[in-house]
Chain A
């Protein structure tokens, strides 16, 4: 195989060229670094829905730039990597459209200043995540897991929307930058608790916090580059971004700290324990991602600068090592055909470049000195100990989950790479440099950042923290702070990790025992909820949508009668007065005609006669319209009646079974009769009420005086239809056209069947 940068395959070439998009955006974001490091921010807005006072506004500050650099930088490596990973796959183009679509949505999410715009980008990332998890859509598991991720994060998204709307009501603005000065008032606002719960629901579902974390390991059905990009480095950090962004607006209260620290700690510990028992490489990484997201959430619950710096530092640490590991896991899967850790051995010699990337990433994950993970861990312990609320709890949770992650890093590195046995079934070869290039560079960065942490702190982390935390005391990232408590905890963590690694089988048995002892978990609740929705759908189908036309009509008319009668009775307690004088003789004659036609409809055994009698009723009503001076209405009524009789007769001629007459049971007849009578009564009462109230002529006068002068027409009815209210008419004729085409489809389908 020739190893030059541009392979011959045209699709691959185009796909590879698209990597210029993230690269350009990365350079653009990097060029903003000097400005954000100086504390500047940029805001731009265009009118979006001016009638609602909603602007499409963006703001770029240190936090946005940190996220943008992660998104575009890893996006670049993932694009280059994915071309070779997917080589020969039938849907490569679709994949890259989704991938870049996601990247742009994610960039929108981290730069939006308007909460509604933020929500739109939030949902877009959910949609792209759904499409990418279900990328191998011929696989049922893939589809099922994609749907699960969509439903869980989508439900959280709806909660978030509700939270944003409440926030908009409470603050009087939808711009985040305008909410920050109002934060003091928001925290004592009666809606504060509701807003907090809803925003947390959005963040927790997106960032896979306990108890919603179960969707993330299942999302590993996506191709490896997607797991690296969406489900470890960027999308799942959307919730973290949200918590950071709203920290100055909603954060700092006791509720904020308590919930975030508790949920984050639970997620971190549960995720890390579960990771230790996995055997699939991607599942191991997924559960450690859950744990890492838990740690970030926990530290965002803090209020001091060290805690928040820890959250942002660890965000960067995790993005770097975890995407390198996911890409490496993809290479292993691609080259050996398996991701089961017990089947893998001797890869260190067979795949030296991948091995280097895994080595650097695992040491960073374990938190050894000289790797960036060490810096992240140090600042975590410093942050935990500096907090006023629950410092001991936070520190203990951090030590335990970091210890577990150290053990997981050892499992990931030692088994497949360092043990000497060569896999029996297949001797693996190193992948192309376009695949290992990304992980190697990312792994290299974790080493460089580990050596010069003060530069990282100055350019990346501090600007990000100061974007959402204003009383910045100087928190210095450094390799060596002297012998202090955090260093002691770091040593303790490594020792704990070694102990857990050696006893991993025993630990895993205990964890499994605990899991089987707990009857309720997220997955079961999700499955039960999904089953319940299906059952409810089937139940309402049996009642409402059983395919019987009679049932549909009955439900529609009965609902109309009940709702109208209810709202009428609620609005008034007196029935309209009926004038005692007798109507003129011609009216009486008309009433006799209509009533006898109705009598014929009800009593006749012939369906054709019933239809024709109904036509007579309609014609009688047309004459009523005519006698009250509404010729247009009368004309239309008469024509519609005529056509109805024609069309229904043609249908009846097609259905010989109906010609035999009425086959309803007497109970059903009584039901139908009652409903018909109730409808008549309700309509009559409504009409009498309308007539008895004084008539507002202002609209009529407007049309009368403007119809000819402004619209050149003397027939007001028609002028209203085609000129004054032509938009309504357009809607109506669209309905007519749709009904006609749908009816045509039904008739044709029926014809083909028979």
Chain B
């Protein structure tokens, strides 16, 4: 790997913006273009950039988690998000909603599909990170 000072410096700024944008896409997905899948792809691009500029070890330090653990967590969350509907006596994955906060006539509703979307996000991001880190680390070893 050739360290480029310009790339590394730009990456610090870019990656943070990319990651914030990724979470923004995830959160707004229900009402505007975005969602878990697109958000995870954005985040994956950001980490790929980070891996190219600073090396995979730096990415591992930054995320602290094992990417494969992220896949497992996402799968767990996605399946669990279907359970409340089942417990309520409806078919598996029936969306349930409740009002989390209400002010000035506006209300913020949270539902089980949101947790499902976070599960999708985790799985896709975990998969991308697993592959990119494995490839980059293989590149360093090779």
Interface residues of A (CB under 8 A from B): 631-632, 635-636, 639-640, 642-643, 646-647, 650-651, 653-654, 711-715, 717-719, 721-723, 726-727, 729-730, 733-734, 736-737, 739-741, 743-744, 747-748, 750-751, 754
The one of A631, A654, A722, A747 that contacts B113, using a Cβ cutoff of 8 Å: A722
Residues of A within 8 A of B126 (CB): 737, 740
A-B contacts, 16 listed (Cβ < 8 Å): A632-B34, A632-B35, A632-B38, A636-B37, A636-B38, A636-B41, A643-B44, A643-B128, A647-B48, A647-B131, A650-B132, A651-B135, A712-B111, A714-B30, A730-B79, A751-B138
Of A635, A726, A736, A744, the residue contacting B82 (CB under 8 A) is A726
Taking A647-B132, A734-B75 as contacts, is the C-beta distance between A722 and B38 under 8 angstroms? no
Residue of A712, A727, A733, A744 near B109 (CB, 8 A) is A712
A748: chain B residues at CB < 8 Å are: 134
Given A632-B35, A730-B79, A736-B127, A744–B134 Cβ distance below 8 Å?
A: yes
Instruction: List 6 additional A-B contacts (Cβ < 8 Å) besides A631-B33, A733-B124, A737-B75.
Output: A712-B111, A714-B31, A722-B30, A729-B120, A748-B134, A751-B134
Cα A733 to Cα B131 with chains together (Å): 16
**A722 and B116 in contact (CB under 8 A), knowing A636-B37, A654-B135?**
yes
B113 / chain A contacts, CB cutoff of 8 Å: 711, 713, 719, 722-723, 726
Residues of B32-48 contacting chain A, CB below 8 A: 32-38, 41-42, 44-45, 48
Interface membership of B78, Cβ < 8 A: yes
Chain B 67-107: CB-based contact to A (< 8 A → 1; otherwise 0): 01001001100110010000000001101010000000000
CB distance A715 to B29 under 8 Å? yes
When distances are taken between beta carbons in the complex, the residues of chain B under 8 Å from A730 are: 78-79, 82, 93
Report whether B34 and A715 are in contact in the complex, using a CB–CB cutoff of 8 Å: yes
Nearest CB in chain A to that of B120: its residue: A733
Let me know if B48 and A643 touch, CB within 8 A.
yes
B77 to chain A, nearest CB (A): 11
A750 touches B82 (CB 8 A): no
Interface size on B, residues (CB 8 A): 51
From A713, which residue of chain B is reached at the shortest CB distance?
B30
Contact B37–A712 (Cβ < 8 Å): no
Interface residue B54 (Cβ < 8 Å from any Cβ of A): no
**A733–B139 contact, CB under 8 A?**
no
Asked if A715 and B36 sit within 8 Å, CB to CB, the answer is no
Contacts of A631 in B (CB 8 A): 33
Q: Judge whether B120 and A718 touch: CB under 8 Å.
A: no
Are A632's CB and B33's CB within 8 A? yes
Task: Return B19 CB to nearest CB of chain A, in Å.
Answer: 14
- The distance in angstroms between the C-alpha atoms of A567 and B31, with both chains bound, is 39
Docked pose: A736 CA to B95 CA in angstroms: 23
Across the interface, name the chain B residue whose C-beta is closest to A725: B93
- In whole angstroms, how far apart are the Cα atoms of A171 and B38 in the complex? 54
B45 CB contacts on chain A under 8 angstroms: 639, 642-643, 646
Cα distance A643–B135 in the bound complex, in angstroms: 13
B interface residues (Cβ-Cβ under 8 A, vs A): 29-38, 41-42, 44-45, 48, 52, 68, 71, 74-75, 78-79, 82, 92-93, 95, 97, 109, 111, 113-114, 116-117, 119-120, 123-124, 126-128, 130-132, 134-139, 141-142
Task: Please provide the 7 A-B residue pairs with the shortest distance between their CB atoms, ordered closest to farther.
Answer: A740-B127, A639-B41, A713-B30, A631-B33, A714-B31, A722-B113, A718-B35
Kindly state the separation between the CA atoms of A654 and B141 in the bound complex, as whole angstroms.
10
With beta carbons under 8 angstroms apart, the residue of A647, A651, A719 that contacts B30 is A719
Residue of B with least CB distance to A633: B33
**Total A-B pairs, Cβ < 8 A:** 145
A650 and B68 contact, CB distance less than 8 A? no
Q: Which of A722, A727, A740, A744 contacts B36 (CB 8 A)?
A: A722
Q: Which residues of B contact A737 (CB under 8 A)?
A: 71, 74-75, 123, 126-127
Collect the chain A residues with CB atoms within 8 Å of residue B75's CB: 733-734, 737
Nearest residue (CB) in B for A722 is: B113
- Contact partner, B131, options A639, A642, A729, A743, Cβ 8 Å: A743
Contacts known (A650-B132, A650-B139); A635 close to B30, Cβ less than 8 A: no
Query: How far in angstroms is the closest Cβ of chain A from B49?
Result: 8
Which among B37, B111, B136 is the interface contact of A721 at CB below 8 angstroms?
Answer: B37
Given A733-B123, A736-B124; A712-B97 close (CB under 8 Å): yes
Q: How far is the CB of B34 from chain A (nearest CB, A)?
A: 7
CA distance A640 to B93 in the complex (A): 27
B138, A747: Cβ atoms closer than 8 Å: yes
Q: Which chain B positions have C-beta within 8 A of A723?
A: 95, 111, 113, 116
Report how far A721 CA is from B121 CA in the complex, Å: 12
Could you tell me the distance in whole angstroms from the C-beta of B117 to the nearest C-beta in chain A?
5
In the assembled complex, the CB of A405 is this many whole angstroms from the nearest CB of chain B, namely: 60
Docked pose: A736 CA to B68 CA in angstroms: 12
Contact A635/B38 with A643-B45, A729-B116 known, Cβ cut-off 8 Å: yes
- Do B33 and A715 touch across chains, with their CB atoms under 8 A apart? yes
B95 to chain A: closest residue by CB: A723
* Nearest CB in chain A: distance from B135 CB, A: 5
Q: How far is the CA of A650 from the CA of B41 in the complex (A)?
A: 17
When distances are taken between beta carbons in the complex, the residues of chain B under 8 Å from A632 are 33-35, 38
Contacts A639-B38, A713-B31, A729-B120; A646 near B142 (Cβ below 8 A): no
CB-CB < 8 A to B134: which residues of A? 743-744, 747-748, 751
Residue among B33, B38, B124 having the largest count of chain A Cβ atoms under 10 Å:
B33
B residues in contact with A713, CB < 8 Å: 30-31, 113
Nearest-CB residue, chain B, relative to A743: B131
Contacts of A639 in B (CB 8 A): 38, 41-42, 45
Contact B71 A740 (CB under 8 A): yes
Most buried by B among A639, A727, A737: A737
Of B33, B36, B114, B139, the residue contacting A653 (CB under 8 A) is B139
Query: What chain B residues lie within 8 Å of A711 (beta carbons)?
Result: 95, 111, 113
B104 to chain A, nearest CB (A): 19
Q: From B48, which residue of chain A is reached at the shortest CB distance?
A: A646
A641, B33: Cα distance in complex, Å: 18
Closest-by-CB residue of A relative to B110 is A712
**Given known contacts A636-B37, A733-B119, is B132 in contact with A646 (CB within 8 Å)?**
yes
Taking the closest CB of chain A, its distance from the CB of B79, in whole angstroms, is 7
B21, chain A: closest CB distance, angstroms = 11
**Does the CB pair B30–A715 fall under 8 Å?**
yes
The complex places the Cα of A643 from the Cα of B40 at a distance, in Å, of: 11
